[in-house]
Structure 1
Amino acid sequence: MELEKKKIVEHNDLIMSSAKMDTVPLKFFELAVSEIDTFNPPKDNTIYLSKRDMFKFLNAKDNDNDKYHRFKQAISKMQKQAFFEIREEKGKGFVFRNIVPIPYVEWKSYSDEVKIRFDVEIMPYLTELKTNFTQFALTDIQGLNSKHSIIIYKWLNMNYNQFEYYKKNGNRDGQQLYNLCNPIIEVDELRWLTNTQKEYVGRFTNFEIYVIKKPIKEINKYTRFNVSYDKIREGRKITKIQFHISLKGEKTIENSSSKPKKVVTLADAQQSPYSQLLIGAFLLQISDVQDEKLMLSLAAKIYPKYDEFVEKYSLDILKKHLEYVKAHSTNIKDLVTYLDNALENYQKRLVGQEKDNKESKPKNRKKGVIQKEKIPDYISNPGKNKLTQKGIEDSKAADELLAKINGDLK
């Protein structure tokens, strides 16, 4: 069969494994896999390749006198050094398997035929493919000259194939579809996939150039994909990469129902105006602002609700609510839960008050929400609208705290 018509089909666990091999052995393995008929697995796990097709796939020229030497080197490395570290989630953890994929290769100097026998342990990942598998054309990786390009392309293809399937068959909402064609991977996970845990350490720049930027350039040039990426930080450290995949000639998905959720960092949470409101209300202390778990939890669970509240009512009403919460709180053990419950109860009261307002319709009452929460003295002095002495002192203390936290964040 011509190379242009060959397909590679692999289980997703193999796609997500760590390939401990160089580019040529990896491409040799992929070429061998393309010879497998998943509906009619090869007898004795043995397939036959053509030297002519093999050299063509490896982009070896006819006048390349060194191609046989490189072929022998690739076979030697595959059998002596190269293996897949396959990780499968089982129970409470992972099961790891190290598999040398092709332990036996035989060829003759006077024949075009190359005999290849796969290891019995690798075959389930190549033939038992009822679910959780990925298919792509052999020629998709023919032009990729870096093992990182091949590994990343297979991972991107796995995600995009799922996107295409669920887009056609349903069962996924807009956000889930967006996530599949804009997948996020942890940097540590990407290092594991590409077997670069001990390479390009130190500054992120070198890792980005050789493991991300150059492979993406190759993928965009030689495959059906257009790919871009964003770096996601947590504090000062880049911890995740988000890829954006589209087919050539098509735009990436971007609509109101599938916009990505911004990954909030500790710095984002610290700089949120709601954090400063909580500090001003003495519900957060300076030491709390450095508590990453607490701040990220507030940013994820509370601040979005504050956004909705402010949009419906006002920032001033939220501020008064927080002052009320502080004035009536004692021994708060779980600030996030406490604030969540307090806001929910307050919103219920406001809804009830709005309903009463509509029913009674007083003639001389100003429009707006009736505020039944008692405002502490240091917020305002009803009737005179002046701060008390206690309010002035507490206001100065709040300003000093805000100035200090702002200085720490810069």
Structure 2
Amino acid sequence: MNYNQYEYYSVKGGRRADQVESYRNPSISVKELRIMTDTIIEYKRFTHFETRVLKEPLEEITKHTSFNVTYEKVKKGRSIDSIVFHIEKKRMADDNSYKLDDRAYQEDKARKAETEDQLVLQAMDSPYTKLLIEHFLLSYLDLVDKKILVGLQKNVYPLYDELKELRGLNGVKDHLSYVRAKQEDYSKKNICKYLKKAIEQYLPTVKRQDLNHE
């Protein structure tokens, strides 16, 4: 009863719909279940077997875990041939697992992932990335960190564009030289935040200087 597989393949794909559903609603024959629970000899009457092997354990699972587990009996002829379990994850205050079945949510998630991939490619091609490496503000290891590249392209490079319009590319280089000279070790842990704060503090000064010279 691997619910984790259901969650994984519901998001990632790679399995047929019926296969994915079988992870949430697994079926097992009574014979296999008796072997697994070592009750081949015990509880000959199915009502006793059902109480001790199914009802009582599943009540405990539902009570003490994050899952609600129910079952249905499948007959073959007049006897019970197999059991189908139905597993549902309980909804917690901070639980978003219910969104697995929300198509709009999944499509939005896919769009965001695609947007992030585009930002990464743009950052890799940006001349600002090369300048940051040349000024030792980025390392080549940072280039494999998707979060850093997305943060730079989304939050830092647009501000560098503003500075470039005001001071040209050399103005950006001068700013990075200053930032590097003032950099503390702690800032390396969150380089995007550090660079964003630096340019946000510098741009108003540049704009005021330009106004004073008009």
Shorter-chain TM-score bucket reads: 0.3 to 0.5
Name the TM-score, length of structure 1 as normaliser: 0.27
Name the TM-score, length of structure 2 as normaliser: 0.47
Greater share of helix: 2
Greater share of strand: 1
